[in-house]
Amino acid sequence: MPRARLIAANWKMHKSISEAVAYAQEMRTALPTLPASCDIVLIPSFFAVRPAVEALAGARAWVGAQDLHWEASGAFTGEVSAAMVKDAGAMYVLVGHSERRHGFAETDPIVAKKLGAALGAGLTPILCVGETLSERESGLEDHVVERQLAVAFGDKSAEDARSTVIAYEPVWAIGTGHTAKVSDAVTMHRTIRKWVQERFGSPIAKALRIQYGGSVNPSNAADLLASDEVDGLLVGGASLDLASFLGIARAVVRS
């Protein structure tokens, strides 16, 4: 059973509610023109989650949130719980995006707690992992990604792993225009799948969807998706423009 490709648009801190809704409505119109084996997820700001969900109601496309807090509720000014994300209608949530890890001091243990909260609420987490440039230059990329996986899944079950999507996003490729070489992305995807296989067994590793993210655009998407190891793309900058994001989604050819 081939894994359906998951093409996600991470809008970061961009787009007003009305811009998000207009995009989602146009996306909805364009969905029939996309390959059937391609799942689309829009990941707007928290405010636009609900309006985007409403704009896509009944369509074969989903909405995610960019982050969440690990506690169920409490005195955490400015934070949003997993239940709130779920209540807004999101199905997916990014966990441990590198901009959270590096810009907001999110440690591996915090990421592990967020992963647990997302799973506990019935959301599908997209767990982001990836090394920095200096870590890659020191040959530490496998070590770093395996450590991120080990901590994130430290207290998780095989069922949890089955419900999780992993995004390999080398930090040096995000927003820089320097996409990873396809061979490097594929090598890391294999490393991730092997780690999951050793920890949770073959069926879960085989079903696991691993996205690549980092300066994906309509020109490089087909090369990345040409590998069976690349189960989708997590797209930042190039997803802000609908035509560009559709160009990326159309690079999905697996049926």
Catalytic positions are 97, 169
Residues near ligand PGA (CB under 6 A), total? 13
Please state the closest distance from residue 26 (CB atom) to ligand PGA, in A.
20
Is 148 near ligand PGA (CB under 6 A)? no
Could you report how far apart the first and last alpha carbons of the chain are, in Å?
10
Task: Note whether 46 and 78 are within 8 A (CB).
Answer: no
Sole binder of ligand PGA in the list 125, 218, 232, 236 (CB under 6 A): 236
Is 247 near ligand PGA (CB under 6 A)? no
Q: How far apart are CA 181 and CA 110, in angstroms?
A: 30
Sole binder of ligand PGA in the list 6, 10, 20, 41 (CB under 6 A): 10
Of 116 and 236, CB closest to ligand PGA: 236
Please state the closest distance from residue 135 (CB atom) to ligand PGA, in A.
17
Sole binder of ligand PGA in the list 95, 166, 174, 208 (CB under 6 A): 174
* Measured CA distances, 143 to 78, 91, 116, 140, 150 (Å): 34, 31, 23, 5, 10
Of 99 and 135, CB closest to ligand PGA: 99
Task: Note whether 189 and 168 are within 8 A (CB).
Answer: yes
Return the CA Rg of the chain.
Answer: 17
For the beta carbon of residue 205, count every other beta carbon within 10 angstroms.
Answer: 18
Q: Look at residue 93 and give its three-state secondary structure.
A: strand
Please state the closest distance from residue 34 (CB atom) to ligand PGA, in A.
19
Sole binder of ligand PGA in the list 213, 221, 224, 252 (CB under 6 A): 213
Read off the DSSP letter of residue 139. T
Residues forming the site for ligand PGA (CB under 6 A) = 10, 169, 174-175, 213-216, 234-238
